[in-house]
């Protein structure tokens, strides 16, 4: 007879993400109100439109979960939340700029018109520029000495993301080796995922606490999963155009090794991250659940 008491209860990852999203959105709404009172109304409105357009808030969730895993303060007034908000601003700026006609030329993001379609190209450019500055201003508006280390982490990985985007643009229509594709993935997407995990650790302990490889593995798994969704997902579910990488002639891991092998590698990267987190025990359960979510998500 099965002893039901021995069956572990699955971690409620969707509920966790909803709670994080609600908290993050509340902070962003408050900041948006401050910007509206202090700056040009149309720009402030567009900033708010970009930031509050939905999304999983996966990066903030990774920050808070990594902080919790190491016994840190993941509350609304803590340094981890301050870093999570700054990171989300950087991530949002990258999406606004990626959608521009001079980049990916997308008209839909999270089921809504992209910023340059809802407003105009010049405003979208300013929104991205502004979010970069506002991210660091918010992060550094504290006397906590760890904020400087977090700002350096964010600046370094935001720059790596830009480098990755440059590699991606330069690779269109050109055959890349597997090594080049992995390098591109580690920078374009992996950098901010790594920053999320390491940032949560720094907010908790003042150091990376050995979590950088976890962030790197999750970054790899996330990008592979994203590339697979672009091939196999549908626009209605994803809230954005699909098949654009193939249409643009971009090299992705699935295009090089096939869908099944790419999925296997995503799972292998996830398993490696989970193995690294095993020693942290119960406090890391949310972070482990997020690692699994990275490869099982459908949007």
DSSP collapsed to 3 states, the chain: CCCHHHCCCCCCHHHHHHHHHHHHHHHHHHHHHHHHHHCCHHHHHHHHHHHCCCCCCHHHHHHHHHHHHCCCCCCCCCHHHHHHHHHHHHHHHHHHHHCCCCCCCCCEECCEECHHHHCCHHHHHHHHHHHHHHHHHHHCCCCCCHHHHHHHHHHHHHHHHHHHHHHHHHCCCCCCCHHHHHHHHHHHCHHHHHHHHHHHHHHHHCCCCCCHHHHHHHHHHHHHHHHHHHHHCCHHHHCCCCCHHHHCCCCCHHHHHCHHHHHHHHHHHHHHHHHHHHHHCHHHHHHHHHHHHHHHCCC
- pLDDT, tens digit only, all 299 positions of the chain: 444 444 457 899 999 999 999 999 999 999 999 998 988 999 999 999 999 988 899 999 999 999 999 999 999 999 999 999 999 999 999 999 999 999 999 999 988 999 999 999 999 999 999 999 999 999 999 999 999 999 999 999 999 999 999 998 888 878 899 999 999 999 999 999 999 999 999 999 999 999 999 999 999 999 999 999 988 755 544 454 555 555 556 778 998 999 999 999 999 999 999 999 999 999 999 999 999 999 999 87
Q: Which domains occur in the chain, in start order?
A: 12-296 (1.10.600.10)
* Residue 173 confidence (pLDDT): 77
* Residue 172 confidence (pLDDT): 81
* Residue 4 confidence (pLDDT): 45
* Residue 247 confidence (pLDDT): 54
* Residue 171 confidence (pLDDT): 85
């Amino acid at each position: 007879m099965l002893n039901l008491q021995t069956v572990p209860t699955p971690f409620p990852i969707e509920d966790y993400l909803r709670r994080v999203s609600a908290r993050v959105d509340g902070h962003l709404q408050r900041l948006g109100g401050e910007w509206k009172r202090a700056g040009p109304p149309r720009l402030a409105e567009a900033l708010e439109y970009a930031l509050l357009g939905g999304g999983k808030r996966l990066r903030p969730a990774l920050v808070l979960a990594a902080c919790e895993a190491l016994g840190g303060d993941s509350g609304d007034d803590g340094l981890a939340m301050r870093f999570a908000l700054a990171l989300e601003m950087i991530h949002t700026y990258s999406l606004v700029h990626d959608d521009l006609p001079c980049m990916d030329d997308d008209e839909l993001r999270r089921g809504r018109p992209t910023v340059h379609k809802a407003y105009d190209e010049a405003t979208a450019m300013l929104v991205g520029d502004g979010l970069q500055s506002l991210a660091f201003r918010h992060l550094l508006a504290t006397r906590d000495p760890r904020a400087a280390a977090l700002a350096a982490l964010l600046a370094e990985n935001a720059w790596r993301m830009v480098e990755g985007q440059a590699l991606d643009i330069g690779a269109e229509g050109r055959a890349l080796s597997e090594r080049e594709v992995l390098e591109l993935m580690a920078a374009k997407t992996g950098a901010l995922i790594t920053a999320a995990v390491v940032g949560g650790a720094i907010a908790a302990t003042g150091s990376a606490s050995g979590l950088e490889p976890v962030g790197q593995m999750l970054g790899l798994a996330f990008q592979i999963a994203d590339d697979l969704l672009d091939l196999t997902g549908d626009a209605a579910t994803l809230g954005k155009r699909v098949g654009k990488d193939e249409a643009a002639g971009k090299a992705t891991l699935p295009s090089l090794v096939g869908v099944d092998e790419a999925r296997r590698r995503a799972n292998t990267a996830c398993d490696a991250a989970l193995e690294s987190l095993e020693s942290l025990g119960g406090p890391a359960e949310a972070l482990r659940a997020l690692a699994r979510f990275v490869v099982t998500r459908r949007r």
